Amino acid sequence: MRDFKPEDVVGDYKEAVLDLYGGLRRVVFYTDLETPYPDGKLIVSTTDTNGIITHGNKAFVEMSGYTLDELIGSPHSILRHPDMPAVAFKDLWDTVNKGLHWQGIVKNLRKDGGYYWVKATVIPNIRQGKVVSYTSVRRKPSHTKVEECTALYASLK
Ligand SMILES: Cc1cc2nc3c(=O)[nH]c(=O)nc-3n(C[C@H](O)[C@H](O)[C@H](O)COP(=O)(O)O)c2cc1C
């Protein structure tokens, strides 16, 4: 996966090391600059069964700050924010691997080091009884939910 570059980051940043699936390590730079979720937009992306991004819509590209070329072929953890507890993603994968829908509030890391909150629904796409891919559709989360999750995730770290 693409490394973080200081020249891509806007504003003062902190550094964190993320231990990702499959022994992957990534050093990320993150700031406290929030990009508000745009009203009325859906952010949509699809992955293969390993969580590698295969499709993304215009809103996904705009909100992540990456180009579509940078996103396609990358693990979805390219958006992993250091404030997100690992247990949230364990729950996501345990749920979708059973063929069920997962819903949750996620803080995502942008290419410029900023962040954005989403309310995500992850759906397994099933063909002939087998999970063939996953799609996530995001909407704007409520302020109340974001506040609740900020406190909850901090307590889980
Ligand atoms: C369809 C789909 C969408 C996902 N969207 C996100 C996302 O927006 N942000 C994120 O951090 N992880 C997302 N994930 C989870 C990542 O694949 C990954 O599990 C997570 O970033 C934690 O990284 P790790 O599993 O390598 O520890 C998504 C997974 C799937 C299947």
Q: Decide whether any atom of ligand 1 lies within 6 Å of the 51 Cβ.
A: yes
Predicted TM-score (pTM) of the model is: 0.97
Give 79 Cα–ligand 1 centroid separation in angstroms. Answer: 7
Closest CA relative to residue 80, chosen from 57, 109, 111: 109
In whole angstroms, what is the distance from residue 139 CA to residue 43 CA?
Answer: 7
* Model pLDDT, residue 142: 97
Q: Decide whether any atom of ligand 1 lies within 6 Å of the 64 Cβ.
A: no
Q: Decide whether any atom of ligand 1 lies within 6 Å of the 78 Cβ.
A: no
Strand partners for 96 = none
User: CATH says 6-156 is which class?
Assistant: alpha beta
Per-residue pLDDT band at 18 (split at 50, 70, 90): very high
Q: Decide whether any atom of ligand 1 lies within 6 Å of the 106 Cβ.
A: yes
Contacts of 75 by beta carbon, 8 Å cutoff, 6+ apart: 1, 20, 21, 24, 50, 51, 52, 53
Condensed to tens digits (0 to 9), the pLDDT of residues 100-155 reads 999 999 999 999 999 999 999 999 999 999 999 999 999 999 999 999 999 999 99
